[in-house]
Structures are given as C-alpha cells and as structure tokens.
Amino acid sequence: MVYRRTHQVVRRLAARRHAILNAAREAASEGGMAAVQIAPVATRANVAAGTVYRYFPSKADLISELIADVSHDELTAIRRAADAAPGPSSALAAAVTTIAVHVVSHRKLAWGILAEPVDVDVTESRLASRRAIAAEIKLRIDAAVRAGHLPAQDTELAATALLGALHEALIGPLAPNDLDDPIRLRDVVQTVTLLALRAVGVMDARARGLVVQAALPVQAPAPAKTTVLAG
C-alpha cells in the first residue's frame, strides 16, 4: 500500500520548513550569514536541531535555500512594481527603485546574500540569485528599447552593469554609512535610480520625472537586536 500524505500533513511540513527559513532570515538580518547556524536557527524556529537537518541536510543547504528564498521575494517585488507601471520606461525605473529600496532597507541581509564570506560553498545559489534579477532588469531594458524610449544597446551587459552598480553603491565597502535617516535613505535611492536611468540612455529631464514617479516609501532599517547566538 502506498502511503499518501494528507493535505493536513503537507501543510504542517510546509509550515515547519517555512518557519525554519524565516528563523534563518531573522538570524542573517541581525547578525549576517555568520549567525545562520543550525542550533540557533532551530531554537528560533521552535524545533529540534535534528528537525532542521531533516529539511536541510547541511548548513550549506540551509543557506543556499535562504538565498533562493530571499531572492525570490525580491524578484516578486520587482516584477510587481514594474508590471504596475504605466509604460516600459516607468517599469524600468520602478524595477531599479525596488532593488535599491530592498538593498538599503535590509543591508546586512543583502550583503550576506551577495558577498559576505561564509564557511560553506553557496556560490551557485548566489549566482542564480544575481542572474535572475539581472535577467529581469534586461527584460525591462529590452521593452524600453523596443518602444523607442532607449537607444539600441547590449541589454544583457547593461543589466549586469546596473545591478553591479546598485550593489556596490549601496552595500559594498564604499557604501554610505549614514542611512539610518529615512530622508537620507530616500535621497540615496533616488540618486542611484537616476544614475541607472541615465546610464542606459534616458534623457536627464525624463529620468528625473521617472525617479519621482517611481518613488517608494522608504523606512530606516530597524536597529539590530542584541541577541547572543550560539556557534
């Protein structure tokens, strides 16, 4: 007889997996990827460490899935913002603004996803995350080029360059450190969005209008909790 999981069991298993990933995300948001350890994550998720291993056989699996989960949420937000825009240029501005807001609002988590050194190999997950978001930017640049709003260009290279510029400017070693003020955060988001639009060929006056149109509410990141995490 083949055992089939009931809907209730499937939902319970999915909820437990979701709780573990949420716990890992909270740990990374507060302490970076170094804080994503099996035992503390299990405690946060209110499960046994053995339960975490049943869902994620290794720490590398847990962090890789965390990267994929956070990146999926970011990509969903980018698409939602771009799809709601009234035109292809507006969609590109909305996509870039959404990326910038995500990065500056969750800087420690974003750095962990992107480049923070970790003691396990999560290279493929990181690359997949960046490729997916770069592909979405390329899609929006392509649409604006087809509509005649942007000059013909290597859109794949342009998308990669824009994403790299956003990451370097907002969470790289040279990124500003005075982003606790929401007004400063808003100004930084608008500045990098304007830079991105100009870089792909949007005329200055039009670019400024698109930046204002794409403006999203930005809140200063919540201060990190002083939680002691076990190794």
The full DSSP string for the chain is: ------HHHHHHHHHHHHHHHHHHHHHHHHH-GGG--HHHHHHHHTS-HHHHHHH-SSHHHHHHHHHHHHHHHHHHHHHHHHHTSSSHHHHHHHHHHHHHHHHHHTHHHHHHHHT---SS--HHHHHHHHHHHHHHHHHHHHHHHHTTSS----HHHHHHHHHHHHHHHHHSTTS-S---SHHHHHHHHHHHHHHHHHHTT--HHHHHHHHHHT-----PPPPPP------
Amino acid at 71: S
Residue 139 corresponds to which tokens in the numbers above?
């899609």
As annotated, the residues of the chain forming the CATH 1.10.357.10 domain(s) are 58-213
Architecture of domain 7-57: Orthogonal Bundle (1.10)
- On average, the pLDDT of the chain sits at 90
Average pLDDT over residues 57-73: 96
Mean pLDDT value across residues 94-113 = 94
User: Does the model's pTM come out above 0.85?
Assistant: yes
| 58-213: CATH superfamily | Tetracycline Repressor, domain 2 (1.10.357.10)
Average pLDDT over residues 33-60: 96
Which ranges in the chain are annotated with CATH 1.10.10?
Answer: 7-57
In sign, the C-alpha dihedral spanning 82, 72, 199, 204 is positive
223 pLDDT band, cuts 50/70/90, is: very low
> Counting Cβ atoms within 10 Å, is residue 198 exposed (0-12), middle (13-18) or buried (19+)?
middle
Give the model's confidence band at 228: pLDDT under 50 very low, under 70 low, under 90 confident, else very high. very low
| Long-range contacts of the stretch 35-40 (C-beta < 8 A, 24+) | 35/229, 36/62, 36/63, 36/66, 36/112, 37/229, 37/230, 37/231, 38/62, 39/230, 40/229, 40/230
Tell whether the model's pLDDT for residue 152 goes beyond 90: yes
